[in-house]
Chain A
Amino acid sequence: MIGLISALTIGLLLLVVLVVFALGQGSTARGNHSISEFPGDPRHSGELEVCPPELVARIFSREDWALILQTHSPCLERLFLQERKRIALLWVRQTSRDIRQVMRSHTEAAKRAADIHFRTELSLFLMYIELLLMCETLLLLITTVGPPRLERIASYVHELARQISYAHEAFARSSAGAATEIPTSP
């Protein structure tokens, strides 16, 4: 009834996630403390250290590229592309790292929140996966195509990141609201 391949896949996938889980738990036990142990640490607080928007706009802008093309200097073109690629890759890696950090921070808070919403969490998770995939795609495209041709995709990643921030903010607001409603003993 159920395909043999799917049965084998499920068995093997379970083995893989178990090994990943065991390795992760092992490293935690060896001293990589969880986020909750250092709540004041800015590295764990979900801070989104994005580049200034002016810089992001320039990285993927075609204007500079058009200007360089007008010089008809292959050496300058090569140098420009190399430099832009380096900065663009750095930006994408930083964005990806920051998104992970925001999500890590979110899950740390969400896992203890009794009023968690399944659909919101699911949509956040899907959005998070989509963002990470976009970042990976961007990395690949920047390496192969170059930054000046990727303006639209970069904007899309920004839009998704903004949506995640909105959703997380709404969640944090509702959690904080619920927390203030709890009466505290004098």
Chain B
Amino acid sequence: MLDEFIRWGGVPTEILLLVRGLQTKLASRYPAFYLYIFFVLSQSFLRLYVYQWKRSFYRYTYWSTEFVSILVGCGVVYEIFRVGLRAYPGASRMARNSLLLLFLLALVVALANAANDPRWWAEASITEIQRTLRMVQALSLFALVLLFLHYSITFGRNLRGILFGYGLFVAGSVIWLTFAYSGSGRFRNFWFYLYPMSYDISLLVWIVHLWEYRPNPQTKESAKFERQYEIIAAATKRRLQEARSYLDKAIDR
């Protein structure tokens, strides 16, 4: 009973989220996120159908839709980056370069590991490949959040909810897939319940944060900043020059 509730409890929440998204026009502001929710909802029904009527295809359907959902989820990450940094071209460029560097690094590590163990590609289980993809997603989110923290990027309630909910889900997935891949039976049973539950928690976060439209605060601040940027830059320059003269004297003592 609890198992069924955890597994199917998300469906009404997803429907509610989509309905509210259309009512508040948030769906047009965050299309990738709502597409993701729509996809997850559709995949639930597809899986149910296959499970009921074509059970032999269930395993294939389950993992195929999981992979597609990861790809659609990448769109959510991109949307967080795009909307969150729209008003900050400098931070946006930093994020682009950091992510590029991260992907290159991940590619190099993957190729190096594959070269060391050529059988991996042939022997890797679906769970393992999925975990690797989720890890790349988790790393991207990790780098993005660090960047948001470093540049003190302020998010609106809606985007904050999308990031927090999706981040929780991705982190939960990485941990779950690690245990599913390597854990013993007891751990697997534990995580079998916890994984869908982590998604339900994310859904609750989304419902709370996306119930109504709240604008991102940086739009107003950015207009205010542009008018005063030169004053700030000039003041900072003058004060740093004063400080530098102090420091120069301290070093040259």
A–B complex contacts, Cβ < 8 Å, 19 sampled: A1-B120, A1-B132, A2-B113, A4-B182, A7-B175, A14-B174, A15-B171, A18-B163, A18-B167, A21-B149, A25-B154, A36-B224, A47-B243, A48-B246, A102-B240, A111-B91, A111-B152, A112-B89, A114-B90
CB-defined contacts of B222 to chain A, threshold 8 Å: 112
A107 touches B152 (CB 8 A): yes
Q: How large is the interface on B (under 10, 10 to 19, 20 to 34, 35 or more residues)?
A: 35 or more
Identify which of A51, A98, A106, A165 gathers the most chain B CB atoms within 10 Å of its CB: A165
Bound together, the chains give a CA A28 to CA B226 distance in angstroms of: 21
Interface size on A, residues (CB 8 A): 70
The answer to whether residues A48 and B175 also contact, given A18-B168, A36-B225 and a CB cut-off of 8 A, is no
CB-defined contacts of B239 to chain A, threshold 8 Å: 45-48
A158 touches B94 (CB 8 A): no
Chain B 124-154 interface mask (CB, 8 Å, partner A; 1/0): 1000100110010011011001101111111
Chain A 105-125 interface mask (CB, 8 Å, partner B; 1/0): 111111111101010010001
Q: Is A90 an interface residue (CB 8 A)?
A: no
Dominant SS among interface residues on chain B:
helix
A111 touches B128 (CB 8 A): no
Q: Is B4 an interface residue (CB 8 A)?
A: no
Dominant SS among interface residues on chain A:
helix
B224 touches A37 (CB 8 A): yes
Q: Is A166 an interface residue (CB 8 A)?
A: yes
Give chain B nearest CB distance to A108 CB in angstroms.
Answer: 7
The answer to whether residues A25 and B160 also contact, given A11-B174, A36-B225, A165-B244 and a CB cut-off of 8 A, is yes
Give chain A nearest CB distance to B177 CB in angstroms.
Answer: 8
B90 touches A111 (CB 8 A): yes
Give chain A nearest CB distance to B24 CB in angstroms.
Answer: 19
Bound together, the chains give a CA A17 to CA B150 distance in angstroms of: 11
CB-defined contacts of B175 to chain A, threshold 8 Å: 7-8, 11-12
Question: Which of B15-23, B31-39, B228-236 lines the interface with chain A?
Answer: B228-236
Give chain B nearest CB distance to A88 CB in angstroms.
Answer: 14
| 10 tightest A-B CB contacts, nearest first | A48-B243, A53-B250, A11-B174, A53-B249, A116-B90, A111-B91, A114-B89, A11-B175, A14-B171, A111-B151
